[in-house]
């Protein structure tokens, strides 16, 4: 029976023979070749656990961040590139079971695959050891990334930075339009910001303020595109 690398098992705090850990380390390409269960369902669950653990840390450790800034910091942390980098530190690429073609084409270092694997192993920790263990694991590995992201000027006040840049460059004052959808207890907001002749749409967020902050960040990143 295949077992994961011993060093990884120790870092995760799971049993080497844990069916959930083995599932978490099984890519769909391997599953298709061998008739195994892939990590796609665990990745779906892990995505939610990672998001909650990061939000938990932001609220408890950084009370000075309002919801807009906190949402922006989270967007810098819970994304493919950041999660893939953490996965590389755990050497998940070397531990994930890949199909022959996927491994031959460099899948072991593909950011999307690594990020999904990280979320899948978080789900395995959550299911085997509970939320507290999964939260502590996520925060231990993403805490330094969060701390770095919160010091970025954009994370503190993206709307102010965008406004100052726009006015200094003759683009006028940015204007925002926010749309919402969903039931009252789970409303999702999406904002568009217009800067001069350009309109940029941000990622969905749980509040109007957070949506505007994400739209401002998207416009900032797109200003030189």
Q: In this structure, what are the phi and psi dihedrals at residue 175, rounded to the nearest 5 degrees?
A: -120, 145
Q: Decide if pLDDT at 158 tops 60.
A: yes
pLDDT of residue 156: 55
**Distance between CA atoms of residues 26 and 99, nearest Å:** 9
Q: Is 33 annotated as catalytic?
A: no
Query: Partners of 181 in the beta sheet?
Result: 188
Evaluate whether 155 touches 146 at the Cβ level (below 8 Å): no
**Distance between CA atoms of residues 144 and 138, nearest Å:** 11
In this prediction, residues 202-225 reach a mean pLDDT of: 85
How do the domains of the chain map onto residue ranges?
A: 6-152, 157-222
pTM for the predicted model, two decimal places: 0.72
Mention every residue, 6+ apart, whose C-beta is less than 8 A from residue 212.
68, 159, 176, 178, 191, 193, 202
At 224, the pLDDT band (50, 70, 90 cuts) reads: low
Fill in the DSSP letter of residue 18.
Answer: -
Question: Which of 43, 47, 102, 192 does the annotation list as catalytic?
Answer: 47
**Distance between CA atoms of residues 171 and 100, nearest Å:** 52
The tens digit of pLDDT for each residue in 15-32 reads: 999 999 999 999 999 999
At 191, the pLDDT band (50, 70, 90 cuts) reads: very high
Question: Which of 23, 43, 102, 119 does the annotation list as catalytic?
Answer: 119
The tens digit of pLDDT for each residue in 68-86 reads: 778 878 888 888 888 999 9
Q: Which fold has domain 6-152?
A: Ribonuclease iii, N-terminal Endonuclease Domain; Chain A (1.10.1520)
At 221, the pLDDT band (50, 70, 90 cuts) reads: confident
Q: In this structure, what are the phi and psi dihedrals at residue 106, rounded to the nearest 5 degrees?
A: 80, 20
Evaluate whether 159 touches 217 at the Cβ level (below 8 Å): no
Q: Is 10 annotated as catalytic?
A: no
Q: Which CATH number fits the domain 157-222, given the four candidates 3.40.50.11540, 3.30.160.20, 1.20.1260.10, 3.40.50.1370? A: 3.30.160.20
In this prediction, residues 29-57 reach a mean pLDDT of: 95
**Distance between CA atoms of residues 207 and 221, nearest Å:** 21
């Amino acid at each position: 029976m295949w077992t994961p690398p011993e060093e990884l098992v120790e870092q995760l705090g799971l049993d080497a023979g844990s069916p959930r850990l083995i599932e978490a380390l099984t890519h769909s390409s391997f599953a298709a070749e061998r008739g195994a269960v892939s990590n796609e369902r665990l990745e779906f669950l892990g995505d939610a656990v990672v998001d909650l653990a990061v939000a938990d840390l932001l609220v408890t450790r950084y009370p000075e961040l309002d919801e807009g800034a906190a949402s922006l910091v989270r967007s810098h942390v819970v994304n493919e590139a950041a999660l893939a980098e953490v996965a590389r530190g755990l050497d998940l690429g070397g531990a994930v079971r890949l199909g022959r073609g996927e491994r031959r084409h460099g899948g072991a270092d593909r950011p999307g695959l690594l990020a999904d694997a990280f979320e899948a192993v978080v789900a395995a920790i959550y299911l085997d050891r509970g939320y507290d263990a999964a939260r502590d694991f996520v925060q231990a590995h993403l805490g330094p990334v969060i701390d770095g992201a919160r010091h970025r000027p954009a994370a503190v006040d993206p709307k102010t930075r965008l406004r100052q840049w726009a006015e200094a460059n003759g683009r006028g004052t940015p204007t925002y339009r926010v749309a919402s959808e969903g039931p009252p207890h789970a409303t999702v907001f999406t904002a568009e910001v217009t800067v001069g002749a350009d309109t940029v749409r941000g990622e969905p967020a749980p509040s109007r303020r957070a949506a505007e902050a994400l739209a401002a960040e998207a416009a900032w990143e797109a200003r030189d595109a």
